[in-house]
Structure 1
Amino acid sequence: MIDPLERWKETGLPDKPDYAGLLTFAGMPYTHDPAELEGVDVAIVGAPVDDLTSDRPGTRYGPRAIRAAGCPPGPHLEARVDGLAELRVVDFGDAPVVPADPAGNHAAIERTVGQVVAAGAIPIVLGGDHSVAEPDIRAVASAHGPVALVHFDTHTDTGEEVFGVEISHGTPMYRLVRDGHVDGARYVQIGLRGYWPGEKELQWQAERGITSFFMHDVRDRGIGAIVEETISIVGEKPVFLSVDVDVLDPAFAPGTGTPEPGGMTSGDLLWACREIASRTRLVGMDVVEVLPTAVASADVTALVAERVVREVLTGIALRRRATQ
């Protein structure tokens, strides 16, 4: 079998500028052959769908924008580790999705993420609207059992339905907990604020032991204390990290479908993602709701989403160092 990383090195392309060559995450080698996932630590998967959004569409363009927001490789200047050098990372391309077929698209996403999981690699999914969390977490839970979930978001996404529709970007966490793919007692939400959902959904969450940290908790207690409690709650159970960029204040992430003022800073989110990845048993991740067509400065949002992934890769590398 041809080693995709060695094949890539032979071309000399790791030294290419970001704007040249095949568009892959951070210039990592591309493969869409499951046989070439052997020995890979992390595989990037695109989920370019937004058929189930309830507000502004356009997040189908998110994966491409996140890939285009890459930066030159090198060590993380604060953590002093280069996750891209210490881990074998490939871009596994996009799940084979088409417009206006949400059921078929979810099946394609679950199947594609499942190939990554079956190979023993950690999938990092680039959305897409947040409905993609349902198939990608389901694929991970199929291999690891019910997972713990750390969920950064303005919204809980635990609606039983949105506008009378049972499957949308506002319902994935309800369905994942209901169907046993996520362990409610080890499910933590961070950054909640705004005006949705209502008391019905919050009561449902409380009955299942879900922990919710609102923005006033983050402001009053500090992100460090919130992350410490989160790590304590999820414990050593396999953890999935789901990041909706609307958890950020629109000043930091204007390009998203349902922006809500009063959110997190990008600095706090980046640090928190790295810390969680370095101190928990991370088995999967997604970053969703990047809407690059929303406003002229939307590439700022794609940039912070790309850096969220880079921080997680740094955290995974730090954990590998600590456990070897």
Structure 2
Amino acid sequence: MYQPKDSSKSPRFTGVRTFMRLENIQTTEDVDIVIVGVPFDTAASNRVGTRYGPQHVRNFSVLLRPYNPDQEINIFDYCSGVDYGDIDVVPGNIHRSYDNIVEGLTPILENGITPIIIGGDHSISLGNLRAFYKKHGPISLVHFDSHGDTWDNYYGEKYMHGTPFRRAVEEGLIDVDHSIQVGMRGPLYGPEDIEDARDLGFEVIPMKEVRKLGQEEVLRRIHERVADNRPVFVTYDIDFVDPAYAPGTGTPEVAGPTSHEALEYVRGLDGLNIVGFDLVEVLPAYDHGEITAALASAIAFEMISLVALKKRREKSPELSSQNSSY
């Protein structure tokens, strides 16, 4: 059983930086979750530097402890986990980077392990989804973001951080009838920037509607949309959160969720058959006081907690999901 170092016995400022102070081992033996960095950022359209996102989140995550009081679970009583390290991307070559992502994730998925993938810009999600398709076929997507990322191209380029989910639909990687996007907002070029995602088959809940519906209703809609215990991939762009709470990102949009709401959206996914996560667009150079790193590491912690809750139910089926009402 792999678990973090005990920081009451070993100071946090010692040792190599890994997520939550987990052991840095590339193994698929006796593990349930792995942390994987994908430090690719040369498909960004504005600020670059998210290649340093994985190490930035790891640096702050040493403050995390194994017990989650909000979910009432000690993660490593039910999960074994390691920091798997980073996938070797190719700066400036997105297609070779995608190949490396698929190659790197395949043994993890083939062994039934849940990866928590830290980017990197949002273009990496296409590589991630290709790997999940090999294992699961078309997969349901739950997408938190301030942008739909379903544009056809940027500057005539088809593979950018604003295009991955259009490409994923075109490649048949996503079960769009059971996929949903939440949080879209900000100035656009036209209504088609939202409607294109709906035309592709996604349910879309823009931030204006999120505020009217309330968090509980949005979570109910997510559960209703996915349904039937089908495998789910969760993609979480940190710019889903208001830049007051997550300034360290490449394309911030105001009027988003608070840090509390950001975490509650993840907690509220309990009960879905989640087989993988990615967390993207953390940009250290704009992260004053490590505000974004603090939140991003907490989001990843909540993602790991969902895996632990699922494992606990598998061991004790009488423990129903706290979100079964959705």
TM-score, structure 2 normalization: 0.91
What are the superposed Cα offsets for residues 58-81 of structure 1, whole Å, 9 maximum, x if unpaired?
100000001011124231122210
Distance 1:282 1:136, change over 3 A: same
Number of the residue aligned with 2:220? 228
For residues 44-63 of structure 1, the aligned pairs below 5 Å read 44-63=35-54
Number of the residue aligned with 2:324? none
- CA RMSD in angstroms comes to 1.9
Distance 1:243 1:182, change over 3 A: same
Number of the residue aligned with 1:149? 141
CA distance in 1, matches of 2:224, 2:311: 20
Tell me how far 1:199 sits from its aligned partner. Answer: 3.3
CA distance in 2, matches of 1:14, 1:45: 26
For residues 14-29 of structure 1, the aligned pairs below 5 Å read 15-29=9-23
CA distance in 1, matches of 2:184, 2:139: 21
* Residues 1:243 and 2:269 aligned together: no
SS in structure 1 of the partner of residue 217 of structure 2: helix
Tell me if structure 1 keeps the 8 A contact 2:108–2:115.
Answer: yes
Tell me if structure 1 keeps the 8 A contact 2:78–2:312.
Answer: no
Tell me if structure 2 keeps the 8 A contact 1:149–1:188.
Answer: yes
2:209 to 206, 217, 221: 217
Distance 1:195 1:322, change over 3 A: same
Identity %: 34
Distance 1:243 1:270, change over 3 A: same
Tell me if structure 2 keeps the 8 A contact 1:75–1:82.
Answer: yes
CA distance in 1, matches of 2:9, 2:105: 29
Tell me how far 1:193 sits from its aligned partner. Answer: 0.2
For residues 81-120 of structure 1, the aligned pairs below 5 Å read 81-120=73-112
* Residues 1:290 and 2:308 aligned together: no
* Residues 1:137 and 2:129 aligned together: yes
Tell me how far 1:114 sits from its aligned partner. Answer: 1.6
Tell me if structure 2 keeps the 8 A contact 1:58–1:294.
Answer: no
CA distance in 2, matches of 1:198, 1:85: 50
SS in structure 1 of the partner of residue 142 of structure 2: strand
Structure 1, unaligned runs of 5 or more: none
Number of the residue aligned with 1:126? 118
CA distance in 1, matches of 2:247, 2:196: 31
Distance 1:322 1:51, change over 3 A: same
Question: Where in structure 1 do 4 or more consecutive aligned residues deviate above 6 Å?
Answer: none
Tell me if structure 2 keeps the 8 A contact 1:193–1:215.
Answer: yes
Tell me if structure 1 keeps the 8 A contact 2:41–2:49.
Answer: yes
How many residues align? The count is: 313
1:272 to 235, 258, 265: 265
Tell me if structure 2 keeps the 8 A contact 1:18–1:72.
Answer: no
What are the superposed Cα offsets for residues 211-263 of structure 1, whole Å, 9 maximum, x if unpaired?
11111122111111101110111111100000000011010000000001101
Tell me if structure 2 keeps the 8 A contact 1:69–1:302.
Answer: yes
Structure 2, unaligned runs of 5 or more: 316-326
* Residues 1:309 and 2:303 aligned together: no
What are the superposed Cα offsets for residues 173-199 of structure 1, whole Å, 9 maximum, x if unpaired?
111111110111111111110123643
Q: Which moved more, 1:73-82 or 1:165-174?
A: 73-82
* Residues 1:30 and 2:21 aligned together: no
CA distance in 1, matches of 2:178, 2:189: 20
Tell me how far 1:264 sits from its aligned partner. Answer: 0.9
Q: Which moved more, 1:151-160 or 1:92-101?
A: 92-101
CA distance in 2, matches of 1:84, 1:218: 34
Tell me if structure 1 keeps the 8 A contact 2:182–2:206.
Answer: yes
Tell me if structure 2 keeps the 8 A contact 1:109–1:135.
Answer: yes
Tell me how far 1:136 sits from its aligned partner. Answer: 0.8
TM-score, structure 1 normalization: 0.91
CA distance in 2, matches of 1:228, 1:150: 13
Tell me if structure 1 keeps the 8 A contact 2:141–2:175.
Answer: yes
